[in-house]
A and B are shown apart, each in its own frame.
Chain A
Amino acid sequence: MNARLKVEGIRSGYGEIQVLRGIEMLCGEAQITALVGSNGAGKSTLLRTLAGILPTATGRILHGEAEIQRLPSHERVARGIIMVPEGRLVFPDLSVEENLRTGAVNVRARDVWSKTVKEVYDLFPRLLERQKQLAGTLSGGEQQMLALGRGLMGLPEVLLLDEPTLGLAPSVATQIFNIIPQLTESNISILIAEQDLNRVLDIAHFGYVIENGRITMQDTGSALRNNPAVAEAYLG
């Protein structure tokens, strides 16, 4: 497997509080990599560290051959490492289209934004219907689609999805889970942190179980799906 993102012994956290205690993982090219674990295990912290929102204390993050752990977040975005944050952080007072446009502020995506936005509307026709509406007035599911669409506007090579179905109606969650595998066809690697263990392992090529800031199990998605120890770890 060719790794697009390689994580070597990452430690990070919030100030004095260390959350990640040496993470080793790979994200394959155009593959879905799942990150599962209970609340507080360090899933969000890992994604935020990879995106550069949190500083890396020690360890290396390799994007291809390049070390990126010291780059600020906007330079990682420019390299195509893009996070869709937990809680659908859309810009409430901007319209749907303006939100999408902010997703394309990085150098690679800027000039082709009008082409990318059409592809995003093809993927999420609902967003086209709501084009002029303020993002704050959208439903939870629509906001998640917008957050996802905004991430795609940046032309990701690696898309970091933090709990994309959290708090969504089951039918909307299903829709999101149907769309994610389509993205790998556009050569996007996906690292997804998710509470819905079974569904995420169904679509993932490979998965990691994280407990107390360490990777405790790793296997193909289907193998983890059938491993009873995973469910146990998940329950904490």
Chain B
Amino acid sequence: MTSAFSLLKTRFVWFLFAGLLLIAQVPSILGSYWTLIALNLMMWVAITQSWTLFSGMTGYISLGHVVFYGVGAYVVASTFNTIPLWLAVPMGGIAAALLALVVSVPVLRVRGPYFVILTFGLAELVKFSILNLETVSGKSSRLLFGTPSIEILLYCMIGLVVLATLTTLFVTCSRFGRGLTVIREDEVAAATVGVPVLRYKIIAYTISAIVPGMAGGLMALKSTYFEVLQVFNPIISFTVVTMAIIGGSGDVRGPFLGAVFLVLLSELFWTTAPQFYMILVGLFLILFVIFAPNGIAAFLDKLQISRKSG
């Protein structure tokens, strides 16, 4: 089983690099409109992949990952023109990880629906705290002048996708990753075999905040202004969960498949029939949860198996 897995992995890694190289060609071949779409796509893949590392592996569904995205954006926006961007963006990731670390001890003590609600509430709390902070200091929104070009941001975002994906692959194969899987299966049993349950959950939660933090920073640079309600928009959390479910949250390919699916869907319908798009997203989410809870990735595996046997 292990050898089959590593084979799949190497094939996947080749596909991954080929795909990302193609996406890196988008600016020169397809122009600026498609570059923006490619940037969006890469952002969703990066965040969803990080989300999967924690929520997919441990079964703790975070409905508030936007908080890390927002914090990363806030760090980059508030330090804009004072510290260089190559430092500010990683600092956004570190700030998000620190926030995750600090809140993880109380937050990870509750399970199931309580955890879901708590992560959502936490994101709202941070959103309104920063909103008040900005209002008090008289900066309801910030304009960012002289941001890097979209191409540069796309390359950075591709870098984040690589980082998030390699981290997930690495964790999946490690003892740490097996510990997380066992926690998802049964937390008490995991403790009785000697998995340091709380420590593993904290580490996974903290790691899963880093890339969303940096992605938030890059996206603030992309939009060239910073507005609290926009970067802490809960829709971002919902979209990430939706992409993970549709793509397959237990699979490293899932975030790619889910993000491509929803970004294409949005390209087809968002401008022409926005209401129709939201209805479709809801419909697909329901259909996937009922008929394909392991997402497109598991569906592809099934196709492959039936083709081989049939």
**What does DSSP make chain B's interface, helix, strand, loop or mixed?**
helix
Interface residues of B in 163-177 (CB under 8 A from A): 175
**B152 in the interface, Cβ–Cβ < 8 Å?**
no
Stretch at the interface among B92-100, B136-144, B191-199, B207-215: B191-199
Stretch at the interface among B63-71, B121-129, B182-190: B182-190
**Residues of chain B having any CB pair with chain A under 8 Å:** 175, 178-179, 181-182, 185-186, 188-198
**7 A–B contact pairs at CB < 8 A?**
A74-B197, A78-B194, A82-B193, A89-B192, A94-B181, A105-B178, A153-B193
Name which residue of chain A comes closest to B179, CB basis: A105
Mark contacts of A95-119 with chain B using CB atoms, 8 A cut-off: 1 yes-contact digit, 0 otherwise: 0000000110110000000000000
Name the residue in B179, B182, B188 with the highest tally of chain A Cβ atoms < 10 Å from its Cβ: B188
Nearest-CB distance from B114 to chain A (Å)?
15
Closest partner residue, chain B, to A104 (CB atom): B193
Which residues, 55 to 89 on A, are CB-close (under 8 Å) to B? 72-74, 77-78, 82-85, 89
Contacts known (A102-B178, A105-B179); A74 close to B186, Cβ less than 8 A:
no
Residues of chain A contacted by B192 (CB below 8 angstroms): 51, 53, 73, 77, 82-85, 89, 151
B193 touches A150 (CB 8 A): yes
Known: A73-B192, A77-B194, A82-B192. A105 touches B185 (CB 8 A): no
Known: A105-B175, A105-B179. A73 touches B191 (CB 8 A): yes
In contact, A74 and B182 (Cβ under 8 angstroms): no
- Give the residues in chain A near B178, CB-CB below 8 Å: 102, 105
Q: Among B189, B196, B197, point to the contact of A89 (Cβ < 8 A).
A: B189
Q: How large is the interface on A (under 10, 10 to 19, 20 to 34, 35 or more residues)?
A: 20 to 34
Query: Do the beta carbons of B188 and A102 come within 8 Å of each other?
Result: no
Give which listed residue, A51, A73, A78, A91, contacts B186 with CB less than 8 A: A91
Given A53-B188, A85-B188, A85-B189: A91 and B182 interface contact (C-beta under 8 Å):
yes
Query: How many Å lie between the Cα of A77 and that of B182 in the bound state?
Result: 16
Cβ distance A128 to chain B, nearest Cβ, rounded Å: 17
Q: Is the CB of B188 within 8 A of A89?
A: yes
Task: Report chain B residues within 8 Å CB of A51.
Answer: 191-192
Say which residue of A74, A90, A154 sits within 8 Å of B189 (CB atoms): A90
Let me know if A125 is at the binding interface, CB within 8 A: no
Q: Kindly identify, within residues 35 to 53 of chain A, every residue whose CB is under 8 Å from any CB belonging to chain B.
A: 51-53
> Cβ of B185 and Cβ of A91 under 8 Å apart?
yes
User: Within 8 Å CB of B189, what residues of A?
Assistant: 85, 89-91
Whether A92 touches B185, Cβ cut-off 8 Å, given contacts A73-B191, A102-B178, A105-B175, is yes
State A186–B256 Cα separation when bound (angstroms): 51
Q: Which residue of A lies closest to B200 (CB)?
A: A74
Are the CB atoms of B195 and A74 closer together than 8 Å?
A: yes
Contacts of A89 in B (CB 8 A): 186, 188-189, 192
Which residue of B has the minimal Cβ distance to A106? Answer: B194
Interface residue A122 (Cβ < 8 Å from any Cβ of B): no
List the B residue with the shortest CB-CB distance to A147.
Answer: B189
3 closest pairs, A vs B, by CB?
A: A77-B194, A89-B189, A91-B185
Bound complex: CA A73 to CA B54 (Å): 22
Docked Cα-Cα span, A106 to B178, in Å, equals 13
| Cα(A154)–Cα(B189), bound, Å | 13
Q: How far is the CA of A154 from the CA of B165 in the complex (A)?
A: 33
Candidates A72, A83, A84, A102; contact of B182 at CB < 8 Å: A102
CA of A90 to CA of B175, assembled, Å: 18
Q: Assess A154 versus B194: contact at CB under 8 Å? Given A92-B185, A105-B175.
A: yes
**Quick one: which of B175, B181, B196 contacts A74, CB cutoff 8 A?**
B196
Q: Name 18 extra pairs, CB < 8 A, besides A53-B191, A74-B191, A74-B195.
A: A51-B191, A72-B196, A72-B198, A73-B197, A74-B197, A77-B192, A77-B194, A78-B194, A89-B186, A89-B192, A90-B189, A91-B182, A91-B185, A94-B181, A94-B185, A105-B195, A151-B192, A154-B193
State whether the Cβ of A93 lies closer than 8 Å to any Cβ in chain B.
yes
Q: How far is the CA of A78 from the CA of B192 in the complex (A)?
A: 11
Cα–Cα distance between A91 and B188 once the two chains are bound (Å):
11
Separation of A29 and B202 alpha carbons in the complex (Å)? 37
Query: Min CB distance, A226 to chain B, in Å?
Result: 34
Q: Kindly state the separation between the CA atoms of A85 and B175 in the bound complex, as whole angstroms.
A: 22
Nearest CB of A to B171, in Å? 15
Q: A51, A77, A84, A106 — which one has the most chain B CB atoms within 10 A of its CB?
A: A77
Most interface-central of B175, B186, B194 (chain A CB within 10 A): B194
CA distance A103 to B190 in the complex (A): 9
